[in-house]
Amino acid sequence: MAEHHARAIGLAVTSAKLVAVADPSETGRAAIARIAPDAAGYPSFGALLEAHKPDVVHIVTPLDTHFDLARQALAAGCHVYIEKPVVETGHEIAELFQLAKSQRKSICAGHQLLFEAPARLALQLLPAIGRVCHVESYFAFRPSRRTAGGRVALRADLQLLDILPHPVYLLLHFLEAARPGGAGEDGMTVTVGADGTIHGILHRGELSGALTVTLMGRPVDSYVRIVGTNGMIHADFVRGTVQRQIGPGSSAIDKVFAPYRLARQLLSGTTASLVRRVSRRQRSYPGLTELFEAFYRSIEAGTSAPISEETIAETVRVCEQVSSSISALASSHPAIRPRPTGPTVLLTGGTGFLGRAVARELVALGCSVRVVARRPPAPWDRTAGVDYRAGDLGAAELRESLQGVDVVVHAAAETAGGWQEHEANSILATEQLLRSAASAGARRVIHVSSLAVLASARGGKVDEHSPLLADSRSAGPYVWGKLESERRAEHLAGELGIAVRIVRPGAIVDYQSFEPPGRLGKRLGNIFVAVGSPRDRLGVVGLDFAARMLAHLAVDFDRAPAKLNLLDPELPSKAALLARLRRNNPDLTVFWLPMWVLKPISLAAIVLQKVLKPGRKAIDVAKVFRVDAYDTSLSATLAGAPDDQRNYTTSEPSGEDAARSA
């Protein structure tokens, strides 16, 4: 966000100039230096204030530092711009405003949506819709798993609190515009649902506004809808448009033609907004530069900041109330299951897609479950009975979490990024985990690999004895990371004298909330390009089945197979998977891309990759979408046997097993 600020300051049509940046990270200072090379860099804010006396300080740091940094800046005689969320409590913002008043300085908040085109136009149109009777602020958001710099993002509930000020201050702004000075005593009634969805009603005099913020709702959206006695305004902050229907709209002609007018407004407005963004090469957030300009001009003119103290303070109070509700939700989830009867299992990747399901199954089997994750889950994503611990697989404190563990289920792996990320977070993390487990006395490990690491059978069926890919880099960073992690795990089993079981799930699909596996094809908006033939059968495994099997293998580790290709006992065809996808997406259009068409395209892509990036391994797209025949007999056998009579078949032993055999 600091980089966006630096760019936006440079675009401001005022006399403002970025003179210095304080950041304890040398990388962070270097990033700003690339945007504003004349700005001096300092490792601390104190060092910056010793060398400079800036007119304005922008605080673009983590939330828990905002209050102290703002106090330092105001005490030094600086005006302060604070990114949202401004501070954590109403008491803190009241203290900052009191200090600002004593210093005759201004505070401005990062409420830039108010300066985007939709908010400005909606405000201009407000008088035309008559007496306002309803205001609604809606925000649907998809949490990020990674930051722009590749770091692990905040957990979902903290991301929710981070974006919450936007829909809150928009609601407050339009309520105030509709009923100036009409604030009531009741404030906001807010509830936080079990999935983190926020519903609130804010009372302002006789008018009430509705707030909805969700991490689960799709599509991603952000809008304010204002309804009056003479029409409606819909301000869309994703597309940068405003749709309006002004007039009573009660006649038959109005009802017929209104949808066409709205459609025309949406089409023309979206096109104009996109053209503006492209023509201006606008990389910073829309509205950011405009807000900076308004703040700087208010300082030069000696007038009030463009965001009122009341709006800032009330936004903080509402967000504080939601934060308290989320904390109460967290305390309502029991952390430890009383009196577990099964083994103690440490689960990595326990906050991910597969890991969450495995954790539930382990708890159901009576295990004492510990989940170690760099980012503990939000309250609504936690499984009752699981002990969540923050930590990194390479950290020394991981050994403490491994004390007393009977079985390690290693399901964590990198899922994004390039070769470097997969080497660090899949390959090296696996080695670090196994070494830590061995030193802590946890000598049973289930390593979750991937079916994609196996070579094609060339006319036969891929099974547990099939060889690994000869060229591990040919299928991209993810498969390379999985394959080399499996090799590292098998090698370390012998070196460390521990027992390792390799489980290779096929593409994991959640049949309850179906998303197509990657080898089925690619979705482009409302079009799905399916690759191959409808009769092809994909090597997939249902989420619930995979989780149940992994949990049972952990409980009955000593009789588990050394290697297991975890697949649905009966593999579905691509046609069956597409039929399931279309049931949930009735408007989806499907096109088939046969392999005989894809192969020459893939060959051309390989040549192009070698020309454009000669130093990198070219990826064979046709190989990524290849369809193999799989032997599912072992999965079927394990699935069909009673829990106490599972007839495990084994391949060659490794590590501790080999020592026992010898």
Q: Which residues are identified as catalytic?
A: 478
Which residues lie closer than 8 Å to 215 by C-beta, 6 or more apart?
140, 141, 142, 143, 156, 159, 160, 195, 196, 197
Residue 373 contacts residue 433 (beta carbons within 8 Å): no
CB neighbours (10 Å) of residue 386?
A: 26
Peptide bond into 653 cis (omega under 30): no
246: exposed, middle or buried (C-beta count within 10 Å: 0-12, 13-18, 19+)?
A: middle
Residue 213 to residue 171: CA distance in whole angstroms: 12
Residue 18 to residue 3: CA distance in whole angstroms: 12
Residue 286 to residue 240: CA distance in whole angstroms: 9
Which residues lie closer than 8 Å to 266 by C-beta, 6 or more apart?
236, 239, 241, 243
> Listing from the earlier edge strand, what are the strands of the sheet with 499-505?
386-390, 368-373, 344-348, 407-410, 444-448, 499-505, 563-566
Residue 370 to residue 485: CA distance in whole angstroms: 22
The amino acid at 599: K
Residue 563 contacts residue 451 (beta carbons within 8 Å): no
Residue 599 to residue 611: CA distance in whole angstroms: 19
Residue 553 contacts residue 564 (beta carbons within 8 Å): yes
Secondary structure class of 182 (helix, strand, coil): coil
Q: Is 499 left (phi over 0), alpha (psi -120 to 50) or beta?
A: beta
Nearest alpha carbon to residue 166 among 22, 43, 288, 28:
288
Which tokens in the block code for residue 662?
């010898």
b/e map of 2-36 (b: 16 or more CB within 10 Å)?
A: bbbbbbbbeebeeebebbbbbbeeeebbebbeebb
Q: Residue written as tokens 């090379």?
A: 37
Length of the chain: 662
Residue 471 contacts residue 421 (beta carbons within 8 Å): no
**Beta bridge partners of residue 224, listed in sequence order:** 137, 235
Q: Residue written as tokens 């009741």?
A: 186
Distance set, CA 643 to CA 165, 390, 549, 555 (Å): 51, 33, 10, 10
Residue 264 to residue 257: CA distance in whole angstroms: 11
CB neighbours (10 Å) of residue 335?
A: 12
332: exposed, middle or buried (C-beta count within 10 Å: 0-12, 13-18, 19+)?
A: exposed
CB neighbours (10 Å) of residue 613?
A: 10
Residue 633 contacts residue 461 (beta carbons within 8 Å): no
